[in-house]
Amino acid sequence: MADLFETVLRPDDRPMSQSELAAAISDCDVFVPTVTDRIDATVIANASPRLRLIANFGAGTDHIDVASAHGRGITVSNTPGVLTEDTADLAMALILAVPRRLVEGDRRLRAGEFKGWGPTHMLGHRVRGGKLGIIGMGRIGQALARRAHAFGLDIHYHNRRRIPKGIEATLGATWHADLDAMLGDVNFVSIHCPATPDTHHLINAERLSKMRPDSYIVNTARGEIIDEAALAAAIRNQTISGAGLDVYEREPEPHPDLLDLPNVILAPHIGSATHESRREMGELVLINIRAMMDHHACPNRVLPPGASFQVAS
Ligand code: 8YV
């Protein structure tokens, strides 16, 4: 691709400011953003008339105003599929690690607090036999369901649409049209829906109050789906038992109230952070650019909203 394009590299390992984004997008045919780039209507209004493709390096496109891009005839593409299994692995790892207090134990051992095995030392809770409620049963939700089923969890899910009965049966998954009823019934909740206006603070103080006191919540999707201050309060008050988070409302800063809770694991947005996923994400970006150059439809074109995730009532 380097022989076909003049490539301008983004600044290393730091988010671009809105003015840097506007400047970058004003002079290119293709722009490759990451999740930290807020491609809003103002940035898009600044786009070069030559800009034909915003080829997102990632699956989620909530940071891109896709409707504005389409309004200017700019295609948006993403990288679905290739990061599914790694993200589901991380969600499963958090489901196992939080109730077994794995990270807390590591911290305590390094601090010299492990004085030897004892019958009641660092007791956690059993995962097998629990009930998992998956919010958003797309590719990653289903990949998590396969793993969780093997770990002996009973699988429940809430999704705007019920998945085909054959897939439901293979996964052993039960659909809940009513999110609140599901939240009150399960002791693990894992979030796998996109961030949209409909899912903003989907998990808020009211919903947390309906959850079981022995329940844990895992989020490898998007931070803004959970009201983080309400989550920290619910854990502190023992309304729920703990959380495993990989994404935050105001990345890269988790809500300060989460930082001193031992029963919370805070991962630094590493759902797709394997050499393999990132290489395959890069390959998909290139496939979409190639298609655009050859005047073919981009295989991973993202449609503007209209079919946004809705919470069934
Ligand atoms: C990526 C993600 O690391 O694909 C996504 O939507 O959240 C992450 O797994 C990120 O998007 C990179 O831009």
What is the per-residue pLDDT across 193-213, written as a single tens digit (0 to 9) for each?
A: 999 999 999 999 999 999 999
| pLDDT value, residue 1 | 62
The closest residue, in CA terms, to atom 1 on ligand 1 is 58
- Over residues 147-152, the mean pLDDT reads 98
- Report percent pLDDT > 90 for the chain: 92
Q: How far is the CA of 58 from the centre of ligand 1 (A)?
A: 4
Mean pLDDT computed over 122-147: 98
List phi, psi (to 5°) of 30: -135, 135
Whether 60 is in the pocket of ligand 1, judged by its Cβ within 6 Å, is yes
- What is the rounded CA–CA span in Å between residue 77 and residue 2? 20
Nearest C-alpha neighbor of 171 from the set 203, 193, 149, 201: 149
- Pick the closest to residue 222 from 193, 242, 198 (CA basis): 193
Q: Tell me whether residue 304 is exposed, middle or buried, using C-beta atoms within 10 angstroms of its C-beta: 0 to 12, 13 to 18, 19 or more.
A: middle
Pocket test for ligand 1, best of 38, 63, 83 (most atoms within 8 A of CB): 83
Residue 310 pLDDT > 80: no
Distance between Cα 265 and ligand 1 center (Å): 19
State the pLDDT at residue 9.
Answer: 87
pLDDT at 99 over 60: yes
Is residue 308 over pLDDT 60?
no
Phi and psi torsions of 125, nearest 5°: -125, 145
Which of 142, 98, 122, 118 lies closest to 231, judged by CA?
98
Would the pLDDT of 190 be above 80?
Answer: yes
**Domains delineated in the chain:** 18-81+274-293 (3.40.50.720), 84-266 (3.40.50.720)
Q: How far apart are CA 285 and CA 299, in angstroms?
A: 10
Q: How far apart (Å, rounded) are the C-alpha atoms in residues 107 and 235?
A: 19
- Is it the case that residue 248 has pLDDT exceeding 60? yes
79: its two tokens: 């990288």
Give yes or no for residue 57 CB within 6 A of ligand 1. Answer: yes
Q: Does the structure show a pLDDT above 70 at 270?
A: yes
